Amino acid sequence: MKGVLGETDSVQNSLFKQVLEPRQFHFPQDHLAHQAYKTEWWYFTGNLAEDDLEKNDLKKNKRKAKFSYQFTLFRFALRPDRVILENASSPGSQWHTNNIYMAHVALTDIQQQQVHQQERFSRDGLKLAGAEIKEDGVVQFWLNDWQVKSLQAHQLFPLQLDINNDQFALNLQLDVDKPMVLQGNHGLSQKNSKNASYYYSYTRLKSEGNIRINKNLYQVSGKSWFDREWSTSSLSDDQTGWDWFALHLDDGSDLMIYQMRKKDGIKDTYSSGLLIDAQGETQSLAAHQFQLEIKDFWISPVSGIRYPIKWEILIPDNNINLSVSSTVKAQEWSKKGGFSFNYWEGSINVKGLKNKQAVSGTGYLEMTGYD
């Protein structure tokens, strides 16, 4: 993962644009690709439940099925060619490309404790992958037939997310339940003393549609989270990875926290968070304002990597004490499992106290660098 995100001393990286200061965001253009930067991603996660069951099903004591999903589309620039980077055009053959796109999609059946995952790659030549505004004003990003498409011209939301393959499918409509928030310093998220990214989020999205696992079709609804980030490099030489939490609490508030881990195991001072209340008002959290304590581990039988799968989140100034645990332990992407990187990405349950009141919720957790 670190090699893809870029090392700070790379000569090639220095030829790409760097994230150095806050910028003015422009939409819908900033929902699209930023060719002058090396790396970016569009990132959806969500927790869903089967819609209301029929009376006959209730008589059979049938429980609603619960699911979680992840769809991440990455863009990796191959070389810092200024003509290509600034003009975002491909000379010569239509097969020519300066970008490789990679997509990860996962659908987890929580009750059955089953995780379905798939990874795909494509170039942006011949429109096989990309992110652009179509002639009719539709905002779209895609990799082959996996695609996200806006349902209103020149607006990202509401949107349709369609992922189909033989094993499973996701067909969801997402719409905003809260306004967009800028992460970090007005959208500049500092990862260490030299490296930063531009980062914004839609933290609570109403989600409904259907999913398919093999031949079983479910009508579902729930909540999703959309993160958008681009940069040229993220990790420094003394950093080994990160732990990222995105939580939906049942009092209507949302919480994003990430800690950058140093090689000595210490939380980097550039770790941060954002608390979003039910009305969408935000409060930034510096590294010293929260604590993340590991309570339990899981060792992957595939990779042998040991991941923390139960945590306690403490935010003393806000009277928040949350216990977070994975819904399914085996939500790992591993090289030995046939994927490109080793990391853990999956749904979590949340319970605890906020201002001395019981609170619960769902969310997503991403952990890198444990290999």
The per-residue pLDDT for range 235-250, each reduced to its tens digit, is: 888 899 999 999 999 9
- The Cα–Cα gap between 239 and 265 comes to 9
SS (H, E, C) the chain: CHHHHCCCCCCCHHHCCCCCCCCCCCCCHHHCCCCCCCEEEEEEEEEEEECCCCHHHHHCCCCCCEEEEEEEEEEEECCCCHHHHHHCCCCCCCCCCCEEEEEEEEEEECCCCEEEEEEEEEECHHHCEEEEECCCCCEEEEECCEEEEECCCCCCCCEEEEEECCCEEEEEEEEECCCCEECCECCEEECCCCCEEEEEEEEEEEEEEEEEECCEEEEEEEEEEEEEEEECCCCCCCEEEEEEEEEEECCCCEEEEEEEEECCCCECCCCEEEEECCCCCEEEEEHHHCEEEEEEEEECCCCCCEEEEEEEEEEHHHCEEEEEEECCCCCEECCCCCCCCCEEEEEEEEEEEECCEEEEEEEEEEEECCC
Reported as a single tens digit per residue, the pLDDT across 179-233 is: 999 999 999 999 998 899 999 999 999 999 999 999 999 999 999 999 999 999 7
| Residue 18 counted as domain residue | no
With CA atoms as reference, report the closest residue to 130 among 101, 91, 154: 101
226 Cβ neighbours under 8 A, 6+ residues apart: 42, 43, 44, 174, 201, 202, 205
Same-domain pairing of 124 and 150:
yes
- The Cα–Cα gap between 173 and 149 comes to 10
Same-domain pairing of 166 and 274:
no
| Residue 17 counted as domain residue | no
Answer whether residue 113 shows pLDDT above 80. yes
Answer whether residue 294 shows pLDDT above 80. yes
* Structural domain ending residue among the three candidates 237, 262, 284: 237
The separation between the first and the last C-alpha atoms of the chain, rounded to the nearest angstrom, is: 10
Same-domain pairing of 182 and 51:
yes
- The CATH number covering residue 338 comes to 2.40.370.10
| Residue 44 counted as domain residue | yes
Residue 79: the pLDDT is 80
Residue 148 domain boundaries: 1-6+26-237
For residue 352, what are its two tokens?
């605890």
Same-domain pairing of 232 and 249:
no
Answer whether residue 328 shows pLDDT above 80. yes
Same-domain pairing of 263 and 139:
no
- The Cα–Cα gap between 273 and 270 comes to 10
* Span of 84-93, 195-204, 277-286, 302-311 with lowest mean pLDDT: 84-93
Higher pLDDT pick, 114 / 10: 114
Residue 80: the pLDDT is 76
- At residue 50's C-alpha, the angle toward residues 321 and 300, to 5°, is 55
Same-domain pairing of 231 and 145:
yes
Same-domain pairing of 364 and 261:
yes
234-266 exposure pattern, b = at least 16 Cβ within 10 A, e = fewer: bbbeebbbbbbbbbbbeeebbbbbbbbbbeeee
* Structural domain ending residue among the three candidates 196, 221, 237: 237
SS (H, E, C) 10-37: CCCHHHCCCCCCCCCCCCCHHHCCCCCC
197 Cβ neighbours under 8 A, 6+ residues apart: 19, 188, 189, 191, 229, 230, 231, 234
Same-domain pairing of 151 and 288:
no
Is the omega angle on the peptide bond into residue 91 within 30 degrees of 0, that is, cis? no
Answer whether residue 84 shows pLDDT above 60. no
Residue 236: the pLDDT is 86
Answer whether residue 329 shows pLDDT above 60. yes
With CA atoms as reference, report the closest residue to 228 among 45, 1, 16: 45
Give yes or no for a contact between 270 and 238, defined as CB atoms under 8 angstroms apart: no
Q: What is the mean pLDDT of residues 356-366?
A: 97
Same-domain pairing of 208 and 87:
yes
Q: What is the mean pLDDT of residues 281-291?
A: 97
Same-domain pairing of 257 and 143:
no
Reported as a single tens digit per residue, the pLDDT across 49-70 is: 999 765 555 455 567 899 999 9
Residue 91: the pLDDT is 54
Residue 53: the pLDDT is 63
| Residue 113 counted as domain residue | yes
Give the chain's domain count. Answer: 2
| Residue 202 counted as domain residue | yes
With CA atoms as reference, report the closest residue to 171 among 148, 143, 150: 148
- The Cα–Cα gap between 300 and 291 comes to 25
Is the omega angle on the peptide bond into residue 80 within 30 degrees of 0, that is, cis? no
| Share above pLDDT 70 across residues of the chain, in percent, rounded to a whole number | 89
Same-domain pairing of 231 and 248:
no
| Residue 212 counted as domain residue | yes
For residue 227, what are its two tokens?
């993160």
* Structural domain ending residue among the three candidates 218, 237, 256: 237
| Residue 119 counted as domain residue | yes
Residue 235: the pLDDT is 82
| Residue 21 counted as domain residue | no
Same-domain pairing of 96 and 154:
yes
Q: What is the mean pLDDT of residues 269-297?
A: 97
- The Cα–Cα gap between 288 and 359 comes to 23
